[in-house]
Amino acid sequence: MRRPRRGASVRPGRLLAMAIIVLAIWGIGLFRFADTIPQKVADAGTRTDAIVVLTGGSGRLDAGLDLLARDLAGQLFVSGVYHGVDVERLVQIYKREPEGLEPRIGIGNAVNTVGNAAETRVWMEQRGFTSLRLVTGAYHMPRSLAEFGFFMPGVEIVPHPVFPEHVKQEYWWAWPGTASLIVSEYNKWLFARARHWVSGLFSPPRRMGPAGNPDSGTGK
């Protein structure tokens, strides 16, 4: 009678051990990621060249319009607006007085966070801007900062999180909806960081020069 090969009997155990290790590392990373989600607006007063609002969550555009009204930037860019909606209609929807605000607002039609960062970079470069205040949901901020930092290295980015009522950041793991949201954001953030790393192997990121113009990324 043939004896089973030793390697064949231990291989499933090794695979299980590796799976447990990977899952443990992923879980530790998840809680560390959750700790990076802002709990408050750390800097509410620094003036920047622009305010950038990423649509897709409650309170974001209202916060951006309030910041523009407070003159914390000269212009507001709203990224992720539905096609067919212009600035005038956008201001009307949010019941704001268009006089004085409308000429200072630009819009883009990106459909995801990568698109938000890409179209914002183009808008910033066209105006020679080198600093922005980024308005998005607190849970979305870590991934947004990763994408914006990748697309616009050298640009000063001031995070300005908003806090949707349905997202329970305290004891987030005890709230199924919030837990699912944060797990999803964590996985997307991991994928984004991996994509940035792979991209960096083949093409160094372009940097925006002192006038907002892209250079070769060589530091010249």
124 or 92, which is more confident: 124
Q: Residue 53: beta bridge partners?
A: 78, 135
DSSP letters for 77-142: EEESPPTT--HHHHHHHTT---TTTGGGEEEE--SSHHHHHHHHHHHHHHHT--EEEEEEEGGGHH
**Domains of the chain with bracketed CATH:** 50-202 (3.40.50)
The pLDDT tens digits for 2-20 are 555 555 555 888 999 999 9
Residue 128's φ and ψ, nearest 5 degrees, are 70, 25
What does the radius of gyration of the chain's CA atoms come to, in whole angstroms? 22
With pLDDT > 90 as the criterion, what percentage of the chain qualifies? Answer: 71
92 or 161, which is more confident: 161
Query: Coil, strand, or helix at residue 47?
Result: coil
130 or 209, which is more confident: 130
Report the greatest alpha carbon distance in the chain: 91
Q: Which of the residue ranges 41-45, 96-100, 140-144 would you say has the lowest mean pLDDT?
A: 96-100
pTM of the predicted model as reported, rounded to 2 decimal places = 0.84
Task: Name residues whose C-beta falls within 8 Å of residue 41's C-beta, 6 or more positions apart in sequence.
Answer: 159, 160, 161
In this predicted structure, the answer to whether residue 210 has a pLDDT above a threshold of 50 is no
| Alpha carbon distance 161, 134 (integer Å) | 8
Distances (CA, A) of 107 to 38, 97, 123, 127, 191: 26, 17, 9, 14, 27
